[in-house]
Amino acid sequence: MNCNCGGTAESTKDAALATMLAEYREKPGALIPVLQGAQAIYGYLPETVLAQIAAALHLPLSHVFGVVTFYTQFHLQPRGRHIIRVCLGTACHVRGGAAIFTALQQHLDVNDGETTEDQRFTLESVACIGACGLAPVITINDDTFGRLTPEQLPEILARYA
Amino acid sequence: MGEITKGTVQEQARRIFICAGSGCISSGSRQVADKLQQALDEAGLNQTVPITMTGCHGFCEQGPIVVIAPDDVFYCRVQPEDAVTLVEQHLVQGQLVESLLYRDSQTGERAKSAHDIGFYAKQQRIVLRNCGTIDPEQIDDYLAREGYQGLARALTMTPEAVIEEVKRSGLRGRGGAGFPTGLKWSFAAGAPGEKKYLVCNGDEGDPGAFMDRSLLEGDPHSVIEGMVIAAYAIGAQAGYAYIRAEYPLAIQRMQIAIDQARARGYLGESVMGTDFAFDLQIKAGAGAFVCGEETALLASIEGERGMPRVRPPYPAIKGLWGYPTNINNVETFGSVPYILRAGADAYAAVGTEKSKGTKVFALTGKVKNTGLVEVPMGLSLREIVFGIGEGIQQDRPFKAVQIGGPSGGCLPAALLDVPVDYDSLIAAGAMMGSGGLVVLDDTTCMVDLARFFLSFTQRESCGKCTPCREGTKRMLEILERITQGEGSMDDIIALERLAGVIKSTSLCGLGQTAPNPVLTTLRYFREEYEAHILEERCPAGVCKALTKFAIVPDKCVGCTACARVCPIHCISGAPKKVHTIDRSRCIGCGQCAGKCRFAAVVRA
Ligand SMILES: Cc1cc2nc3c(=O)[nH]c(=O)nc-3n(C[C@H](O)[C@H](O)[C@H](O)COP(=O)(O)O)c2cc1C
Ligand code: FES
């Protein structure tokens, strides 16, 4: 029982961050790609990571924070294992996207942007996934589900442990 | 996969094209491909019949789509279970699989190939010509279809002559505003600067639009070729393709295409062996609608918050990191190779006097045939909605088309014959926008739709200028009030006044166009606003606060489904007896109507 996965995983993440920061240090316009990379590594953007990024790119932390909060893609809180995005774009709006969203809210007992207590799902509403021909549409991670009805949802969610 | 394997002439020509656009992938086209490959292996045809994964065919409604050459037989809604039949019956026995052919909803007849289907027959594909017919991950497929020949011709001309050619073609920007492309290039070409940049705008934030996505996924080399031609014309050395992060497949395919183009010398130090050098990289957007606005997009590439800057100076003079920068939309670049290859006159022969060429639309909403369509400019809305789109789902009454997204407007049935070109749409109060075309039927509430767009623009307003930040909020509050049944006629006056101020004083296009959905619905559907305000009634039955439900006694069989689903238990009645809804307690959620299998629950 000398397994130490948690610690090792953290240090590989830190190493990955360090490598990335070294690669981008002198490049112009690096902040957003670096934030995207850091979020891919950690799953979200912890405050300590933001401080490291600010130091490496010679930017005030407030500036980094300002950019992070401007874009919807960046998250300051840990997120669920599976990300559900419900389209509330125009095409989905007129074909019942809101009913899908309400059903998911009720089923998972979370609001827009929140994560379930067991960290299984994060629910987000988005404006257009670009599969409008199949409205109403949701994506779970990289999988797209179209022509949905609320009844189909429990079965689809069950596929994601 | 893309390689054509050697065999007899007839065998060489046999090829299976499977759509791998985002729409068909989500309908399961990858599983269909796996099963088809298995079936080919089992039938011993894997050496002679190659499978090609293509970009979007446009007819997403009918996906997954499989086309088999020769004769381009068009199979739709193909399921993995159909794979064996397709191989056995079509390839081995040489018989059409009737049940998988497209069936015309009017005549009931089966169509053999795409040309026989109304959806395709009225389209004219210039920009999308390769989408669905090539493997977007194979540069050789693109080259086999006259790829990079427009660039080859451009490189034999002077940059000035290239700009002249584009000017003569009449091409206008497809990003929304329709600015003449050649003229824009001449500004950047003429601007002094030791470095110049070229940017491709693939942010496509307009909800209800996926043209740029499909082009990037289906034919990325055409966008790259257009960009290299533009770079040569203006003298840019470096370029960025800004693609929204929500489009991972587009980013992936574009990256593959850039790497291939570089390896073959279409990008890099010496483009096609000349001393012209140009290279390109991708920037993934981070999720903000306003970043589609050109100055905000540039700020975002620089790593800043994507907030628009005051223009002038325009990007052509002072753009990325202060250098002259030319920025065009994906589809604009996608139109350029054809203009250089076939000539300005060929391009200008299509379209109307002031709007040349074709436009790609994302046809969605309550129309029968949803999907991606490319039509000559000037076609009427009627021809698009009722010709290509084949009318409204379930043959319900047509109400309006929403064109141009959050910057555009809603046009009613009376304007169905308006030609779709930049100037006619502006005159009608809408705009071309990026090409989203959402069809609405009688179940769409126009006040609710206006509220929907305002909630979008209000959320996406970057907050830099006051009229947009505060004004959209106030307009949204008023619209919410009206949809709640608490509006007054003064609210309409207030909406119109606010709209005027926001339009004329906002910093960027987001605010300047945000009131358009409200103004067009007020102009063409004023009676719906009045019904909400004066009669506390939502004619389309959408606004929950104004909608109540009732049970038609003749139709109710007493199955109790409605009573069981009602969240506030306001439906009473014994099993097998007629049920009733307590109108005073009904919250109008509509769950009962959704559950009833006898159409006994109606809005009342
Ligand atoms: C709020 C806002 C959003 C925009 N979004 C896009 C977009 O997603 N894609 C695009 O090409 N242009 C968009 N534009 C237009 C761009 O500012 C710019 O005019 C366009 O990219 C120029 O390309 P074109 O000349 O080829 O049309 C947007 C403009 C505004 C004001
Ligand atoms: S509006 Fe929902 S996918 Fe486009």
- Tens of pLDDT, residue by residue over A144-161, are 899 899 999 999 999 998
Q: How many CA atoms lie within 13 A of B88 on its CB side?
A: 7
Q: Is residue A44 part of a domain?
A: yes
Q: Indicate the pLDDT class of residue B6, thresholds 50, 70 and 90.
A: very low
- Residue A5 has a pLDDT of 47
CA distance A81 to B604: 44
Specify the CATH number for B139-348; select among 3.40.50.11540, 3.90.1580.10, 3.30.413.10, 3.10.20.740.
3.40.50.11540
Q: Could you say which of B245, B304, B405 has the minimum Cβ distance to residue A67? A: B304
Q: What is the DSSP string of chain A?
A: ----HHHHHHHHHHHHHHHHHHHHTT-TT-HHHHHHHHHHHHSS--HHHHHHHHHHTT--HHHHHHHHHHSTT--SS---SEEEEEE-SHHHHTTTHHHHHHHHHHHHT--TT-B-TTS-EEEEEES--S-GGG-S-EEETTEEE-S--GGGHHHHHHT--
Q: Tokens 């298995």 correspond to what residue?
A: B38
* Residue A132 known to bind ligand: yes
- The bridge status of strand B325-329 relative to strand B371-376 is unpaired
- Residue A4 has a pLDDT of 45
Among B259, B223, B256, B229, which residue's Cα sits nearest to residue B241?
Answer: B223
- Residue B79 has a pLDDT of 96
- Domain match, A64 and A96 both: no
- Residue A1 has a pLDDT of 40
- Domain match, A105 and A61 both: no
Q: What is the DSSP string of B311-326?
A: SSSPTTTS-GGGS-EE
Write out the two tokens for B507: 């910093």
- Map out the domains of chain B as residue ranges: 9-121, 139-348, 358-441, 446-534, 548-603
* B422 exposure class (CB count in 10 Å sphere: 0-12, 13-18, 19+): buried
Q: What is the DSSP string of B220-233?
A: HHHHHHHHHHHHHH
Looking at chain A, how many residues does it have? 161
Write out the two tokens for B585: 């307690």
With a cut of 70, say whether residue B4 has pLDDT above it. Answer: no
Q: Does B205 touch chain A (CB under 8 A)?
A: yes
Residue A127 CA, distance from chain mean position: 15
Write out the two tokens for A99: 């009913």
Q: Which of B58-62, B232-236, B292-296, B452-456 has the lowest mean pLDDT?
A: B58-62
With a cut of 50, say whether residue A3 has pLDDT above it. Answer: no
With a cut of 80, say whether residue A113 has pLDDT above it. Answer: yes
Mean pLDDT of chain A: 90
Q: Which residues of A touch B405 (CB under 8 A)?
A: 90
Residue B305, min C-alpha distance to chain A (Å): 5
For the ranges B240-244, B365-369, B538-542, the maximum mean pLDDT occurs at B240-244
Please tell me whether residue B263 adopts helix, strand or coil conformation: helix
Neighbouring CB atoms inside 10 A of B109's CB total 10
- Domain match, A59 and A92 both: no
- How does A13-45 read in b/e, with b if 16+ C-beta sit within 10 Å? eeeebeebbeebeeeebbbbbbbbbbbebbeeb
CA distance from start to end of chain B: 58
Q: Is A86 in the pocket of ligand 2 (CB under 6 A)?
A: no
Q: Indicate the pLDDT class of residue A8, thresholds 50, 70 and 90.
A: low
- Domain match, A98 and A149 both: yes
- Domain match, A93 and A149 both: yes
CATH 3.20.20.150 fits B358-441, yes or no: no
A to B CB pairs, distance under 8 Å: 136
Give the CA angle between residues A147, A152, A154 to the nearest 5°.
140
The answer to whether A75 touches A39, Cβ cutoff 8 Å, is: yes
Please tell me whether residue B581 adopts helix, strand or coil conformation: strand
Question: What pLDDT digit, counting tens, does each position of A46-59 carry?
Answer: 999 999 999 999 99
CATH number at residue A129: 3.40.30.10
Q: Is residue A3 part of a domain?
A: no
Give the ligand at the shortest distance from the Cα of A88: 2
Largest CA distance in chain B: 86
Question: What pLDDT digit, counting tens, does each position of B457-509 carry?
Answer: 999 999 999 999 999 999 999 999 999 999 999 999 999 999 999 999 999 99
- Domain match, A62 and A119 both: no
Q: What is the dihedral of CA B557, B561, B562, B568, to 10 degrees?
A: 140
With a cut of 70, say whether residue A98 has pLDDT above it. Answer: yes
Q: Is residue A76 part of a domain?
A: no
Peptide bond into B80 cis (omega under 30): no
Q: Indicate the pLDDT class of residue B22, thresholds 50, 70 and 90.
A: confident
The answer to whether B510 touches B290, Cβ cutoff 8 Å, is: yes
Looking at chain B, how many residues does it have? 604
- Taking any CB pair shorter than 8 Å as contact, residues of chain A touching chain B are 28-33, 35-36, 66-67, 70-74, 87-91, 93-95, 99, 126-135, 137, 142-146
Q: Is residue A77 part of a domain?
A: no
CA distance B71 to B46: 20
Q: Percent of chain B, pLDDT > 90?
A: 82
Note whether A127 contacts B286, CB cutoff 8 Å: no
- Residue B276 has a pLDDT of 98
- Domain match, A18 and A61 both: yes
With a cut of 70, say whether residue A106 has pLDDT above it. Answer: yes
Query: Which pTM does this prediction carry?
Result: 0.91
The answer to whether B247 touches B56, Cβ cutoff 8 Å, is: no
- Residue B207 has a pLDDT of 85
With a cut of 70, say whether residue B342 has pLDDT above it. Answer: yes
Q: Which residues of A touch B304 (CB under 8 A)?
A: 31, 67
Q: Indicate the pLDDT class of residue B409, thresholds 50, 70 and 90.
A: very high
- Residue B8 has a pLDDT of 40
Please tell me whether residue B590 adopts helix, strand or coil conformation: coil
Q: Is residue A5 part of a domain?
A: no
Element (H, E) at B15: strand B15-19
Q: Is residue A63 part of a domain?
A: yes
Q: Could you say which of B26, B213, B453 has the minimum Cβ distance to residue A146? A: B26
What residues pair up with B603 in beta bridges, in sequence order? B549
Please tell me whether residue B296 adopts helix, strand or coil conformation: helix
Give the ligand at the shortest distance from the Cα of B328: 1
Write out the two tokens for B52: 């090609």
Please tell me whether residue B100 adopts helix, strand or coil conformation: helix
Q: Report, as an integer, the average pLDDT of B452-458.
A: 95
Phi, psi of B374 (to 5 degrees): -120, 125
The answer to whether A56 touches A18, Cβ cutoff 8 Å, is: no
- Residue B317 has a pLDDT of 96
- Residue A13 has a pLDDT of 93
- How does B115-146 read in b/e, with b if 16+ C-beta sit within 10 Å? eebbbbeebbbbbbbbbbbbbbbbbebbeeee
Asked whether this complex has an ipTM greater than 0.90, the answer is no
Q: Indicate the pLDDT class of residue B11, thresholds 50, 70 and 90.
A: very low
Q: Is residue A4 part of a domain?
A: no
CATH 3.30.70.20 fits B548-603, yes or no: yes
* Residue A128 known to bind ligand: yes
Per CATH, the number for B446-534 is: 1.20.1440.230
Peptide bond into B180 cis (omega under 30): no
Output DSSP code: residue B92: I
With a cut of 50, say whether residue A12 has pLDDT above it. Answer: yes
Note whether A32 contacts B300, CB cutoff 8 Å: yes
A37 lies in which domain range? 10-70
With a cut of 50, say whether residue B246 has pLDDT above it. Answer: yes
With a cut of 80, say whether residue B1 has pLDDT above it. Answer: no
Write out the two tokens for A81: 């294992």
Q: Report, as an integer, the average pLDDT of B139-165.
A: 97
Q: Could you say which of A36, A73, A94 has the minimum Cβ distance to residue B366? A: A94
The topology (CATH level 3) of B9-121 is Glutaredoxin (3.40.30)
Q: Tokens 């620089």 correspond to what residue?
A: B302
Phi, psi of B291 (to 5 degrees): -65, -10
Phi, psi of B197 (to 5 degrees): -120, 155
Please tell me whether residue B330 adopts helix, strand or coil conformation: helix
Count how many domains chain A has.
Answer: 2
CA distance B199 to B221: 15
* B256 exposure class (CB count in 10 Å sphere: 0-12, 13-18, 19+): middle
With a cut of 80, say whether residue B7 has pLDDT above it. Answer: no
Q: Does B464 touch chain A (CB under 8 A)?
A: no
Angle between helices B211-218 and B248-263 (to 10 degrees): 40
Q: Report, as an integer, the average pLDDT of B538-562.
A: 90
Q: Is A49 in the pocket of ligand 2 (CB under 6 A)?
A: no
Residue B208, CA distances (Å) to A148, A159, B261, B490, B526 in order: 17, 28, 31, 32, 24
Q: Report, as an integer, the average pLDDT of A56-77.
A: 95
CA distance B397 to B400: 10
Q: Tokens 């191989």 correspond to what residue?
A: B87
Q: Does B368 touch chain A (CB under 8 A)?
A: no
What is the distance in A from the centroid of ligand 1 to the CA of B290? 9
Note whether B22 contacts A131, CB cutoff 8 Å: yes
User: Which of A70, A102, A142 to mutate: most B Cβ within 10 Å?
Assistant: A70
What is the distance in A from the centroid of ligand 2 to the CA of B346? 35
Identical fold for domains B446-534 and B548-603, yes or no, is no
Q: Report, as an integer, the average pLDDT of B36-41.
A: 96
Q: Is B328 in the pocket of ligand 1 (CB under 6 A)?
A: yes
What is the distance in A from the centroid of ligand 2 to the CA of B165? 37
Q: Which residues of A touch B210 (CB under 8 A)?
A: 128, 130-133
- Residue A26 has a pLDDT of 83
Neighbouring CB atoms inside 10 A of B447's CB total 27
Residue B563, CA distances (Å) to B459, B572, B600 in order: 38, 7, 13
Mean pLDDT of chain B: 93
Q: Is A137 in the pocket of ligand 2 (CB under 6 A)?
A: yes
CA distance B357 to B371: 20
Q: Could you say which of A29, A71, A128 has the minimum Cβ distance to residue B208? A: A128
Write out the two tokens for B106: 């009017």
- Residue B106 has a pLDDT of 80
- Residue B5 has a pLDDT of 37
- Domain match, A58 and A101 both: no
- Residue A9 has a pLDDT of 75
What is the distance in A from the centroid of ligand 1 to the CA of B340? 24
Angle between helices B330-342 and B159-169 (to 10 degrees): 100
Write out the two tokens for B389: 């789109």
Neighbouring CB atoms inside 10 A of B602's CB total 13
